[in-house]
Amino acid sequence: MKKISMKATAGSDVLAKMAFGRTVLRKLLEVAEVEPREPEPVFLDFEDVSAATSSFLRECVLGFRDATRRQRSNFYPVIANADEGVEEELDYLLRGQGEAMLACALSDTDRVTALHLVGELDPNYRQTFELVMHLGEADAGTLLRDYNGREAVSRTAWNNRLAVLSGMGLVVEVSHGRAKRYRPVLQET
């Protein structure tokens, strides 16, 4: 588990402006250069950050999430200890894109509580995310067999939903030969 203090990395408790967001993004990418062997959350810790603007969050936080996902990194960004104002700005950005990120409270002893999504997922993606969280690990075959409700959902549709969630960094894709299984990035501890 890696925890990055946004206040310390930025050198300020006010995170504003697009250019500053890009500067801090470069620092985040340097910190995350050494890849872990196994998938793990990287907590972007907003403790003691008093304000963050949409332009900063778009360039820095969403830029970091997008860069790690494009590189198929083993780091999965999670927002930690963000106050209501920071989450509101991030929620606005993510909803506009039809996406979400994981957020939580993280104690000094690295205990995860209040795990939730910031942003909004399409109902089909939300259902799939909740099933993976509930099951602890799933694949399209499991979801096809055990969770087809009123609407018949094909194996391909389940696979696509799982792949999209993995692309957003909301679930971890684990390959077993040609088969792919998906598990939560983290659970409350």
- The domain of 150 spans 122-189
Contact predicate 85/113, CB 8 Å:
no
Which contiguous run of DSSP H or E holds residue 110? Answer: none
Provide the residue-wise pLDDT of the chain in tens; the chain has 189 residues: 899 999 999 999 999 999 999 999 999 999 888 999 999 999 999 999 999 999 999 999 999 999 999 999 999 999 999 999 999 999 999 999 999 999 999 999 999 999 999 999 999 999 999 999 999 999 999 999 888 766 788 999 999 999 999 999 999 999 878 889 999 999 887
Beta-carbon contacts of 162 under 8 Å, excluding residues fewer than 6 positions away, are 128, 132, 138, 139, 140, 143, 171, 173, 180, 182
Gyration radius from the chain CA atoms: 17
69 lies in the same domain as 134: no
Q: Are residues 59 and 137 in the same domain?
A: no
* Residue ending a domain, choose from 89, 120, 151: 120
- The pLDDT assigned to 149 comes to 66
Give the C-alpha separation, 144 to 12, whole Å: 48
CB 142 within 8 A of CB 135: yes
105 and 161 inside one domain: no
